Amino acid sequence: MKRSSSQLALSVGRRAAMAFVAALLVVAGFWTSWGTAQHVLLSKGREHGTLAVTECGGTTCTGTYDPEGSAGPRAGTPIERSVAVKKGQEYEVVRKPGSGELVRSGSSGGLLAWVPLGGALLLAAPVVGGGLRLTRTAWGTAIAGAVLLAAAFFAL
């Protein structure tokens, strides 16, 4: 049976819309992750040190930051509060340029920074599988997102 031009246009439009939604999810996840990941991955020339967390509030935790080198420790330095930051713990950190905020460094900090991308990959998988009918690609996307989230979970 031959498809009419309106059915063909509807099919192409649906696939284009689903491809746009899937791409938007992945790009948004990457962009959100890159905001933190760039400081962890491209940390050469940035100030490194350790943070001993002494107090946690609603959105940030503060503590004594001891930078590498000759500079002395500074009290009251903030880091974003998350499940990865606990009061009484000490963390390797990198200071964001142009601000006093710190970001966890090392492999656990790098994996933590990419968590939004892992979530976006998991969200995009049903769109790729159901909307675009690319089952193998959808499974690959879902597995990549799940592996990234699991690695971040076990690294913390």
Q: What is the mean pLDDT of the chain?
A: 92
pLDDT digits (tens, 9 = 90+) for 29-47: 999 999 989 999 998 888 8
| Partners of 137 in the β-ladder | none
The residue-averaged pLDDT of 128-145 equals 97
Under the banding of pLDDT at 50, 70 and 90, the label for residue 70 is: confident
Q: What's the maximum distance between 2 C-alpha atoms anywhere in the chain?
A: 79
Domain locations along the chain: 15-40+114-155, 44-104
pLDDT digits (tens, 9 = 90+) for 1-28: 677 899 999 999 999 999 999 999 999 9
Residue 8 in tokens? 């063909």
pLDDT at position 153 is 92
Percent of the chain past pLDDT 70, that is, above it, reads 99
Q: From CA 16, how far away is CA 22, in angstroms rounded?
A: 10
44-104, what's its fold? OB fold (Dihydrolipoamide Acetyltransferase, E2P) (2.40.50)
Question: Could you tell me if 85 and 79 are in contact, meaning their C-beta atoms sit under 8 angstroms apart?
Answer: yes
Question: Could you tell me if 104 and 96 are in contact, meaning their C-beta atoms sit under 8 angstroms apart?
Answer: no
Question: Could you tell me if 52 and 14 are in contact, meaning their C-beta atoms sit under 8 angstroms apart?
Answer: no
More confident residue, 85 or 32: 32
- Compute CA distances 22 → 34, 48, 77, whole Å: 18, 37, 38
